[in-house]
């Protein structure tokens, strides 16, 4: 099946930005663990989790090829909508100042403190460092795997661009980690989540429609119209939510 730039380009961007957010969250904990307890066990834990995730991806990829595409589009589209609209809702509420922004600096400090509580790892094999980085990489990595599958499974040939976006995000975060050696607090996570929420919601709507046998006007280019529409609504909702909460405050 032929896929257009509208599909490939937006797949890469959506996958890259969503994966970037998850990788930054994982990197924050890995840096906290590595800087307190030593890098060897921390990096081995991280690498082991990545290896386990690669096995899961290989297994899921094989299973997906045996399921009819319409069913994948409907199921993955529904999951993508639940996921994307949830992110978009949270990003709107964060931008409106109704829920606090995610603070990587605070997360780094909290994890560093936690690692110090368990004492420093003087032995060559540090189980705590291994377990901590394995867990966080598995948790955040599972989210990345889902994002790649959700973005890539809706259309034949779309899995590769979605995977490339995630790999690019991982490489960018690893490079920044080596350069900075500290949490990436300056990464505007809420802005990423806002954009990714819009992109995933648009993809989800498009694939659910395709799974329901809808013939979208202008085919793949409808994704761009959906992205523009969700973005417009989300941008309008930020000041509206802010004013609603202020109105409630002034009335009480």
**x/- string (CB under 8 A) for another protein, residues 206-235?**
--xx--xxxxxx----x---x--xx--xx-
Closest distance to another protein from the beta carbon of 165 (Å): 18
Q: Which stretches does DSSP call E strand in 35-194?
A: none
Closest distance to another protein from the beta carbon of 175 (Å): 26
Subset of residues 151 to 210 that bind another protein, contact rule: CB under 8 A: 201, 205, 208-209
End-to-end Cα, the chain, rounded Å = 58
How many angstroms separate the CA atoms of 72 and 150, rounded?
A: 9
**x/- string (CB under 8 A) for another protein, residues 94-133?**
--x-x-----------------------------------
Number of Cβ atoms within 10 Å of the Cβ of 93: 16
Closest distance to another protein from the beta carbon of 220 (Å): 13
Q: How far is CA 36 from CA 84, 125, 155, 173, 205, in A?
A: 35, 14, 44, 20, 45
In the block, tokens 């761009």 appear at 224
- What phi and psi, each to the nearest 5 degrees, are found at residue 9? -60, -45
How many angstroms separate the CA atoms of 91 and 156, rounded?
A: 31
Name the residues that contact another protein, by CB under 8 A. Answer: 78-79, 81-83, 85-86, 88-90, 92-93, 96, 98, 134-135, 138-139, 142-143, 146, 201, 205, 208-209, 212-217, 222, 226, 229-230, 233-234, 237, 240-242, 244-246, 248-249, 252
């Amino acid at each position: 099946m032929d896929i257009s730039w509208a599909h490939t380009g937006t797949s890469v961007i959506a996958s890259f930005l969503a994966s970037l957010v998850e990788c930054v969250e994982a990197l924050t904990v890995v840096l906290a663990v590595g800087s307190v307890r030593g890098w060897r066990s921390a990096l081995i834990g991280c690498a082991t989790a990545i290896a386990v995730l690669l096995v899961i991806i290989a297994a899921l990829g094989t299973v997906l090829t045996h399921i009819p595409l319409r069913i994948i589009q409907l199921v993955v589209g529904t999951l993508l909508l639940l996921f994307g609209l949830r992110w978009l809702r949270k990003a709107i509420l964060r931008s409106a100042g109704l829920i606090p922004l995610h603070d990587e600096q605070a997360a780094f400090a909290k994890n560093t403190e936690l690692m110090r509580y368990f004492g420093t790892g003087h032995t060559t094999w540090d189980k705590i460092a291994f377990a901590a980085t394995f867990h966080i990489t598995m948790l955040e990595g599972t989210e990345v795997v889902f994002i790649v599958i959700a973005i890539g499974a809706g259309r034949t040939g779309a899995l590769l661009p979605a995977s490339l976006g995630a790999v690019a995000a991982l490489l960018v975060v690893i490079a920044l980690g080596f350069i900075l050696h500290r949490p990436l607090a300056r990464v505007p996570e809420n802005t990423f989540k806002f954009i990714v929420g819009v992109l995933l919601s648009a993809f989800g709507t498009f694939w659910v429609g395709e799974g329901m046998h809808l013939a979208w006007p202008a085919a793949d280019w409808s994704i761009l119209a959906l992205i523009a529409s969700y973005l417009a609504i989300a941008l309008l909702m930020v000041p509206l939510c802010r004013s609603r909460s202020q109105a409630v405050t002034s009335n009480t």
